[in-house]
Amino acid sequence: MDFLTTPLQHFYDAAQRRFPDVLFRGDGSRREIALTFDDGPHPRDTPRLLDVLEKHQVRATFHLIGKSAERHPDLIRSIHRCGHQPALHCYRHVPFPLENPSVLRNQLDYTQSMIEDATGIPGGTIRDLRPPYGAFSARTRSHLTQWGYRLVMWTCIPPHWMQPVEWSIHQVMKAIVPGAVIVLHDGHGHGTRAAEIVNAIIPQIRSLGFTFVTVEEMQAGIKNKQLPK
């Protein structure tokens, strides 16, 4: 079945229209894909993933957990040094609607500052944020916007931590459309499978005429399209 005609794609399209400031999918007229990774960094699996991305000369986006980043600042520097985009996931993996707003802001601002300090990225410029489990409420979204963060969701998130690698590869390839945002996980020990999947899908995606961009580049492409000509 054509992925563009599935109910899931209709949901993403409707959600993108309802929440235009939330990235569910990039510009549908550009043959670009964003590879993104959640829950890292992980001392064993993040380096494996970085090696695969380097092999294929692909840049990706890493949504980092603050607690893990605290323990492994060297891996944050490696992510940035390899040309990837460090982005935010959370400080602790708790759904944002369950957090006290002031506590949540302190956690996010602290994680942002820690990553920026480790990488030398200018302060306050790491803005892209994927909430744990993709959970956000209207109130949460309003707070995050006021605090200067940009919500990032996805178009495909295969449960690769609990199924054969081949199934995940199939699910990702079925979801490849212009502007697709793919989520895999390098945290919690899931990165070995993620590295296998990435190694397999990159050549296949490229053979379809797609290029790989970071979430930041995808956001910029959408913004440029919206500017008056």
Alpha carbons 43 and 124: distance in angstroms, whole number? 26
Alpha carbons 144 and 218: distance in angstroms, whole number? 20
Give yes or no: 45 in active site.
no
Helix (H) or strand (E) holding 88: strand 85-90
Cα 28-24-185 angle, rounded to 5 deg: 115
Strand partners, 87: 63
User: Which is it for the CA torsion 218, 223, 224, 226, positive or negative?
Assistant: positive
Give yes or no: 38 in active site.
yes
Query: What does the block give as tokens for 83?
Result: 């040309």
Catalytic residue (one of 42, 80, 84, 185): 185
Catalytic residue (one of 38, 39, 45, 186): 38
Strand partners, 185: 38
Which has the closest alpha carbon to 26: 224, 227, 218? 218
Alpha carbons 98 and 127: distance in angstroms, whole number? 21
Cα–Cα distance list, 144 to 22, 47, 92, 211 (Å): 11, 31, 16, 30
Residues annotated as catalytic (active site), given as ranges: 38, 185
